[in-house]
Structures are given as structure tokens and as C-alpha cells.
Amino acid sequence: KPCPLCDEAKEVLEPYKRRFILQEVDITLPENAMWYDKYKYDIPVFHLNGKFLMKHQVDIQKFENQLMKLELQND
């Protein structure tokens, strides 16, 4: 379904797309009911490397810091 908040978040993350894999989850699908129950009022929600990172909008400083930590761990 249209999600202007999600579209805005993807635009903000666009410059970083070579540094991580964006996996979108449609929480309205039956197989994602767990996510819907948890986040139906908080979209978009961001997890990085399987851990909750932020919700509602991109905190670019927080995202950059966590992404850099992951990259340093993987080097």
C-alpha cells in the first residue's frame, strides 16, 4: 500500500545503499502478522543486522554510527 513515510525513509537511505541491504517487509501480509501486531502504529521501523534501530523516521547520525560499527566488526 502507499506509504509516504516509507518512501521518504528510502530516499534518505539511498546514498548508503551500497553499504547495506534494504529488506522491506509489508506488515499487512498475513505471513507478517507478528510484525503488524508489534509495529502497526510505528511505521516505518528500522532494524540493522537483526536488531531494532529506530522508528518513525531515519535518525541519520544514529544510522551512520551503527553502520560504521558493523563495518568495522566485519573488517
The pLDDT value given to residue 5: 94
* Residue indicated by cell numbers 534518505: 12
**By the 8 A CB rule, do 67 and 16 touch?**
yes
Give the gyration radius of the chain's Cα atoms: 13
Amino acid at residue number 25 = V
Give pLDDT tens digits for 14-35: 999 999 999 999 999 999 999 9
The predicted pLDDT at position 64 comes to 96
CATH architecture of 4-73: 3-Layer(aba) Sandwich (3.40)
